Amino acid sequence: MPNKIARCGYALSLTGGLLLSPVALANLPPVIDPIADQVVSAGGTVEVVVVPRDPERVVPGLTVSNMPDGATFLDNRNGTRTFKWIPSSNDIGSRLITFEAIDASDPNLRSSVSVTVTVNSTGQASQSNGNQAPRVEPLSDRSVQVGEAVSFRVTPVDPEGVVPALFVDSLPAGASFDDNRDGTRQFRWQPNAQQVGDFTINFVAYDENEPSLRSGETVKLSVTSPNAVVIPSNPINPVGSAVEGAPFFVGLQDQFVTLGDTLSLRVVAKDDDGSVPGLAVDPLPERASFKDNGDGTRTFSWQPYPIDVGDTYVQFSTIDANNSSIRTNQSIRINVVRDPNRVVNFPPVINGIRNPTIRAGDTLTQRVQPVDPDFTVPNLSALSIPQGSEFVDNGDGTRNLNWLTDFGDLGDTQASFRAVDAVDSSLSFESTITVSVVDPSTFNRNGERLRDLADRRGFKIGYAAVLQASKVADSQLYRDIAAEEFNIVTPENSHKMGWIQPQRGLFKWEDADEVANYAEQNGMDLHGHPLVWYAQLPGWVQLLDPSNAQQVMREHIRALVSRYRGRVAVWDVVNESFEEDGSYRNSIWFKGMGKDYVRDAFITADQEDPNAVMIYNDYDVAWINPKSDAMYRMVQEEIAAGTPIDGVGFQMHLRDDFSDYDSVERNFERFANLGMDIYITEFDVAMFNGQNDGLQAEIYRRVMEICLRQPRCKALQSWGYTDRYSWRSNFQPLMFTDKYLPKSAYYEWQRVLRDF
Ligand code: XIL
């Protein structure tokens, strides 16, 4: 606004002067010579000489507005000034910089020139010698049918005119990347029927004299089978939605990082009303951090491992300071490439051991697994272990600290372990845990057990059992509390196809059997999960030709449902078929069979066990929205077609800002009116607003009340029960703490089950 007024003022004095004041006519405003917009890589230099001219030849004043931090605007002592700036990767994005010339004798006479400076990330930091990173000319994504050939030229360019070197990361089997002897290379490939699916291929140009100067271009190649239905895949939320009044990100862009380097990305968000919006990231990649810089920004840091080569998507959210329901999400792609000329050896680590708490009298079974990101097996030893315990070799690179405790062991005792890199013994990792042995009465809970209260109402109260519950360090305590509180259990992972059928026709039943036996021994129902899903698939299914999808799906369903016939009470037959907008997700099953796979799956499952309750399960469908509308239409159609579908599972992975209760109630009602049973299958409430146990408990209470008010709502099952083993453990979404103490949510459920 102020700019506009200044420009008006100038126009008025010019024309007004013409008519009214011959003296003013003599003085004309200065002008600035045109300046081109600038594009620079982070680490590069922008240098612009600003030349003002005044018709009266008096040297005008010069100012700059929106000057970036660290930039200079020095007087050249000849009437001009030089704007100079070396942006860093924190400055990625575009900004408008305005230079203004002010008449020496009349400050109302002024004119300005605005320049857009764009800082991009693709060029890696150039050195102070000004050498800039080469880049690869843009390439478009493409799709190719099995048997067809694809061929394209990859052209690297270097701002300095030297021919950069080129390499390709993740070249598909059978493809070639030949030198055209003109500085370019040719990518050629004829995919075979085993290669149906999406391939991400990174072409990287780098400076041979300075290999750290590099940038990449990624091409997505979709290989389709000749008879498949091709649906363009939905990018994960491409750009933040531009909602009026919502906070927005400044310069947040896709990133590129070379294996061995650490990505450090400053995340900046603004709000037009001047308030400082909140920032969040979900999911946070393993080992990444998102630290508060104390100035309203945060820094996302991540050192990728060899396993991360390729693309990782991360979604950032910025949340309005005054209304947490107003937010903007933006997903970025982080492209990790390997430099073939660089040897990177990562040290080993010992992951996944947290201080265990057990009851005196229990046996601690702490598995210690060292891992090396380079896929070598480290040497593991114990530095100190509690008296009376042993550290046994499991024969698979892991060891177990086994300790049968008694009341004499009450208190905290430490155990320390060391893993040494298999290749470079100077690289090692040490880890110490504190084992707390406590009096069993610590875990006593007031009031009645949830399962007793639920049994009395003919209701099911459930949890998802952690994978290999018999092998976790505190397995006795974990399983005892679960058996006391719940009358239905879902295996959190052991039924998933990637786990249970790692190779075609080869079934690994052990862990699923364990849960089935546990459920029987403790008089619990078993809830199978899931038969058909797009995620957690074994590699061989990810490479499957979609024309085989139907056969593979049916084999899988038959194998699982027949094995547990009469033992599984409820099956999640199909999980997560829909996208957020209500379209079908382009899974391998959808590629092979179109939407008919849903019906086919229910018919196949029902044939194997007509007595089990067969349900469709999905997330973000508990309230009314395009996705639950699509699910509703699907259920209507299946009922009309006579498909044996008995109910709907609503996952309900919530956050503590949830408030759409009315919508949930109406939504349940419309599905109930179709004759569907309702299961709340994966309930948890992530605490985003600090440690507000009360806010969380309120959501637990209200959802339980909605379920109990709805006669068709058969079960409320939480996705785990102790924060210790929650898939969202950072947000403590469950009703027991990580030390197995009941939280407010527990007592709310107890009270509602008793009194409501
Ligand atoms: C999650 C498990 O909790 C994790 O342990 C696993 O790593 C990933 O899957 N929807 C589902 C569940 O249907 O199977 C998912 O479970 C959570 C989302």
Please write the tens of the pLDDT for every residue from 333-357: 899 998 888 888 999 999 878 999 9
**Alpha-carbon span 555 to 538, nearest angstrom:** 14
Atom of ligand 1 nearest to the CA of 576: 13
Domain 445-755: give its CATH code. Answer: 3.20.20.80
Q: Which one, of 279, 282, 281, lies nearest residue 297 by Cα?
A: 279
**233-237, 311-315, 335-339 — which is least confidently predicted?**
233-237
Minimum mean pLDDT range among 62-76, 117-131, 510-524, 680-694: 117-131
Cα separation, 441 vs 432, whole angstroms? 27
Residue of 286, 570, 682 to mutate, ligand 1, most atoms within 8 A of C-beta: 682
CB 35 within 8 A of CB 50: yes
Give the residue, by CA position, lying nearest to ligand 1 atom 13. Answer: 575
- Check residue 724 and report its DSSP letter: G
User: Does the pLDDT value for residue 37 go beyond 60?
Assistant: yes
Please tell me the residue having the least CA distance from ligand 1 atom 16.
492
Q: What is the mean pLDDT of residues 227-232?
A: 37
> Which of the four pLDDT bands, split at 50, 70 and 90, describes residue 483?
very high
The predicted structure's pLDDT at residue 586: 93
Q: How confident is the model at residue 515 (pLDDT cuts 50, 70, 90)?
A: very high
Nearest protein Cα to ligand 1, atom 3 = 727
Q: Residue 42 is encoded by which pair of tokens?
A: 């982070």
Average pLDDT on 598-627 reads: 98
Residue 294 region, left (φ>0) first, then alpha (ψ -120 to 50), else beta?
left
CA of 492 to the centre of ligand 1 (A): 7
Q: Is residue 638 within 8 Å of 615, Cβ to Cβ?
A: no
- Kindly state the average pLDDT of the residues 467-493: 97
What pLDDT score was predicted for residue 234? 31
The closest alpha carbon to 286, from 265, 304, 309, belongs to 304
Look at residue 23 and tell me whether its pLDDT is greater than 50. Answer: no
> At a CB cut-off of 8 Å and minimum separation 6, what does 103 contact?
27, 29, 30, 54, 58, 60, 61, 109, 110
- Three-class SS state of 431: strand
Look at 317-331, 467-481, 721-735 and tell me which has the smallest mean pLDDT. 317-331
DSSP 28: P
* pLDDT at residue 517, rounded to an integer: 98
Average pLDDT, the chain: 88
Q: Active site residue: 100, 492, 682, 748, which one?
A: 682
Percent of the chain surpassing pLDDT 90: 60
Pocket test for ligand 1, best of 492, 621, 734 (most atoms within 8 A of CB): 492
User: What is the pTM (predicted TM-score) of this model?
Assistant: 0.62
Residue span(s) of the chain under CATH 3.20.20.80 come to 445-755
Q: How far is the CA of 582 from the centre of ligand 1 (A)?
A: 21
Q: What percent of the chain has pLDDT over 70?
A: 92
For residue 48, give both structure tokens: 């612009």
Protein residue with least CA distance to atom 9, ligand 1: 493
Pocket test for ligand 1, best of 496, 684, 719, 723 (most atoms within 8 A of CB): 719
Q: How far apart are CA 432 and CA 419, in angstroms?
A: 12
In the set 576, 608, 638, 698, the catalytic residue is: 576
- How far, in Å, from the CA of 654 to the mean position of ligand 1? 14
Q: Is the pLDDT of residue 241 over 80?
A: no
Q: Which fold has domain 135-337?
A: Immunoglobulin-like (2.60.40)
CA 587 to centroid of ligand 1, rounded, Å = 17
Compute the distance from residue 471 Cα to the ligand 1 centre, in Å: 19
Residues paired with residue 462 on neighbouring β-strands, in sequence order: 488, 717
Q: Which atom of ligand 1 is nearest to the CA of 464?
A: 3
Which atom in ligand 1 lies closest to the alpha carbon of residue 466?
5
Please state the rounded mean pLDDT for residues 141-150: 82
Cα–Cα distance for residue pair 489/358, rounded to 1 Å: 22
Using only C-alpha atoms, the chain has a radius of gyration, in whole angstroms, of 32
Of the candidate CATH numbers 1.10.10.10, 3.30.40.230, 3.90.230.10, 2.60.40.10, the domain formed by 24-120 belongs to: 2.60.40.10
Average pLDDT over residues 162-179: 80
Higher per-residue pLDDT: 452 or 94 = 452
349-441: what fold?
Immunoglobulin-like (2.60.40)
Q: What is the pLDDT of residues 55-101, one digit of tens each?
A: 777 778 888 888 898 898 988 777 888 999 998 888 888 888 999 98
Q: Check if the beta carbon of residue 591 is closer than 8 Å to that of residue 548.
A: no
Split at pLDDT 50, 70, 90, the class of 161 is low
Task: Report angle CA 311, 314, 319 to the nearest 5 degrees.
Answer: 165
Tell me which residues have their CB closer than 6 angstroms to ligand 1. Answer: 492-493, 575, 619, 651, 682, 727
Tens of pLDDT, residue by residue over 549-568, are 999 999 999 999 999 999 99
Of the candidates 337, 295, 338, the residue with the CA atom closest to the CA atom of residue 312: 337
Measure 727 CA to ligand 1 centroid, in angstroms: 7
Of 165-169, 401-405, 469-473, give the lowest mean pLDDT range: 165-169
| Catalytic residue list contains 608 | no
Question: Looking at residues 378-401, what average pLDDT do you find?
Answer: 95
CB 541 within 8 A of CB 496: no
Please give the Cα distance from 161 to 163 (Å, whole number): 6
Q: Which amino acid is at 296?
A: G
User: Where in the chain are all domains bearing CATH 2.60.40.10?
Assistant: 24-120, 135-337, 349-441
CA of 442 to the centre of ligand 1 (A): 30
Over range 208-221, report the average pLDDT.
81
Centre of ligand 1 from the C-alpha of residue 729, in Å = 13
Pocket test for ligand 1, best of 497, 537, 727 (most atoms within 8 A of CB): 727
The residue whose CA is least distant from atom 15 of ligand 1 is: 492
DSSP letters along 131-150, please?
A: PPPPEE-----EEEETT--E
Q: Exposed, middle or buried: residue 70 (CB in 10 Å: 0-12, 13-18, 19+)?
A: exposed
Q: Which residue owns the Cα nearest ligand 1 atom 4?
A: 727
Name the band, by pLDDT with cuts 50, 70 and 90, for residue 243.
low
Instruction: Say whether 430 is catalytic.
Output: no
